[in-house]
Each structure stands twice: as structure tokens, then as C-alpha cells.
Amino acid sequence: MDWQSDSNDIETTFAPTLEQWYTIHKRDLPWRHTVNPYYIWLSEIILQQTRVAQGRPYYERFVAAYPTISDMATADERELLRLWQGLGYYSRARNLHQTARHITEKLAGKFPDTYQDLLKMKGIGAYTAAAIASFAFGERVPVVDGNVYRVLSRVFGITEDITTTTAKKTFATLAMRLIQASVDPATYNQAIMEFGAIHCTPVAPDCLLCPVQQQCVAYLTGRQHQLPVKSKKAPVRERFFSYLVFRQNGRLALHERVDRDIWQNLYDFHLVETDEPKTALRDIPLAEPISSLVNTGRLLDAPVEAVQLLSHQRIRATFFLIELPEKVVGSLPIDLQWYSMDEISILPKPVLITNYLAKQFA
């Protein structure tokens, strides 16, 4: 093989080139100052499907609240969810707690230190296992996240739909080849993600100042804006929520969401979901004992309307504040419980509910 073409092969120069770029352009982020697997893990879970700017303050608060994995293991799950409030994908918080307890109690506090063992933990998939294994333990295993799909699809001109299983395999295989040529696998993994996040961005990538410009298939063929190829996702589901907010003696009736639905283990009010929007209390279908409760109370103020946008649902909510007479002891449905405003303030709640409380009880 000709030595010159071999040394210029993009597959062998790619990793070192990005590592060099990274040392110059990397952002100063708190989790980059540690190799403690607990902190690395915490940061990676927070950053799943979450931008650095959004996740960073949460990371700082979690580190302050739970300096060690044992602190997190013994924490109250409700308190942990409360800290997670507003970040979304709440199963991450529940899995965080479960894995903290597993490592503390079953693994004697010893954090799994290989890609394969990390994969066994709840909430740790291929990406996160690779991130922890390389950042904390130096293992030569590549991260493949949204940034990596974008960068590799462009540089190597891969047109497979990244949502398919075969494409994921293609990228994983290529990534595994590329990391072999890295000087340091941890630095390279950081580098390719940082490069995707701040240079090879989804729109308006900075091709003119790109370190691999002359090797980039997408740039050389003018296709950087068409890559990566990603099939459309399902349309957003419309949902109509009517919340009955019962108040008595200054306390509100709340309910923990335990169904297989959004906001599991968070708290909201008595919910009536309908297929059509309902803006009047009398139009809302009610069953006992709720209907009796509504009849003994009186509707306060005008209903408050709100729209909460999720990536997969659009929720149109109407809140009806219903004041119950002091003496009525009437039966509250078993899933509803009275909470003082102080107690409510420390319950984990969806943003929709937090916003309503701020507006109604400001």
C-alpha cells in the first residue's frame, strides 16, 4: 500500500484532527473537570435528549444535593423528582435513583467500570455506557449520539435513514473503526460531540472553517444541508385536559400520576380527559363521587386555559377552581389528597401545573 495515500486516509486522520480541533475550541463545562464515574454518569443522564445549556444548572443542583452516589441512593425519590422537575423524560430520574441504589447496595458502591457492565444498569444504553466507559475509565469504545450521526453522515456521505436499525449498525461500525486511530479515546469522543454541537451544526454548519472540509463528502458535493437523512416522526397527538382544582380551607386536592402515561410519579389535580375541548364546567362528564363534590362547591373565577407543548403531544388544558365549604367532610376519591400550599411547593409537578399554580395563586 502506498504510504502517502494511507497517511492521508480520512479514516486514520479523522480522529486526531478532531482531537486537535477540540483542544482549541472546547467549552469549559463542569463535568469536564472530573473522571469520577458518578459525576460523569449523572451528567450523561441529564444530557440525554437535552441541550447543555438546559442541563447544566440541573447538574450543579444535583451535585450539590447529592455529592456522592450513596447520598443519591438514600434520597427520597419524590425529592429527586422535584429536583428533576422541568427537565422532562422523568423516567431518567426514576432510573437514576434505582441505579444509584443498585450500585450502592448490591455492588458495594463500586461503579461498573466496563462498557459491558455499564450496559446492565437501568437507564444506561449504548451511548451512555460508551460515554462513561471512555470518560471515566479510558476504554476505547465510541459514543454514537445525535451529533455523531450528523458529523459522520456528512463527512462520509452516508445517506441511510438514521432512524433505521441497519443505519445505526453502519454508524456504530464506522465509529468503532474511527476511534482506533484516536490519540486518546476519551478526548476523541468529547471532540466529535463538541464538534457536532458547536461547529457541524444542524443548520448553518461552519463549513468554511472546517478542519475536515477537504475530506467531507457532503461539503465537496454540496449536500451538507441534506444530511443526515432522518425520516419524519409521527404527528403530534392532540389531547384535551379538564382539571378540577378542589380547594378547601386553603388546601388543594392533588393526585399522583401512576398510569402508563406522561408525567409518571408527578402530581396534578383531578383530571377529566375528553376527545373534544371543554370550556364550561357543565359540559364535563363527571362520575361519582366527583359530581357530588362539584355540586356542593362553587366555581371560582373564570376557568384558566393553558397549552402545554410536548414533542409528541399538544395538551389543551382548562383549570376549574372549585371551592368547597369548610364543613363538608364529603369523601374525596381515593387517589386525591389534600395538600397545603407549602406541601404542594415541594411536590414534583409537570410544568403545566407549576405554571397554573403561579398564575392562579400568584
Partner DNA sequence: AAAGCGGGGTC
Partner DNA sequence: GACCCAGCTTT
Q: Which of 10, 89, 281, 306 binds DNA (CB under 7 A)?
A: 89
User: Who's near 179: CB < 8 A, 6+ residues apart?
Assistant: 15, 140, 141, 142, 185, 188, 189
In the bound state with DNA, the residue whose beta carbon lies nearer, of 115 and 248, is 115
Does position 193 interact with DNA (CB under 7 A)? The reply is yes
Between CA 358 and CA 362 the distance in angstroms is 5
Q: What is the DSSP letter of 202?
A: S
H or E element, residue 42: helix 37-47
Q: Does 282 bind DNA (CB under 7 A)?
A: no
How far from 250 is each of 138, 157, 245, 253, 343, CA to CA, in Å?
Answer: 56, 62, 12, 10, 12
**Positive or negative torsion for Cα 46, 114, 172, 180:** positive
Q: According to CB under 7 A, which residues from 206 to 235 bind DNA?
A: 228, 230, 232, 234
Q: Which residue in 122, 177, 298, 359 binds DNA (CB under 7 A)?
A: 122
Choosing from 14, 31, 38, 62, the residue that interacts with DNA (CB under 7 A) is 31
Q: Of the candidates 22, 111, 127, 319, which one interacts with DNA according to CB under 7 A?
A: 127
Identify the burial level of 287 via C-beta atoms within 10 angstroms of its C-beta, where 0-12 means exposed, 13-18 middle and 19 or more buried.
Answer: exposed
For DNA, the closer CB: 88 or 303: 88
Cβ distance to DNA smaller for residue 251 or 314: 314
* Active-site choice (19, 44, 139, 194): 44
What's the per-residue H, E or C state across 124-168? Answer: CCHHHHHHHHHHHHCCCCCCCCHHHHHHHHHHCCCCCCCCCHHHH
What binding mask, one character per residue, do residues 288-327 give for DNA by CB under 7 A, x or -?
--------------------xxxxxx--------------
**Would residue 11 show up in a list of annotated catalytic residues for this protein?**
no
Q: Footprint of DNA on this chain (CB under 7 A)?
A: 29, 31-32, 43-44, 47-54, 86-91, 95, 121-129, 131, 145-147, 149-150, 163-166, 190, 193-194, 196-197, 202-204, 228, 230, 232, 234, 260-264, 308-313, 350-352
Q: Catalytic residues, which ones?
A: 44
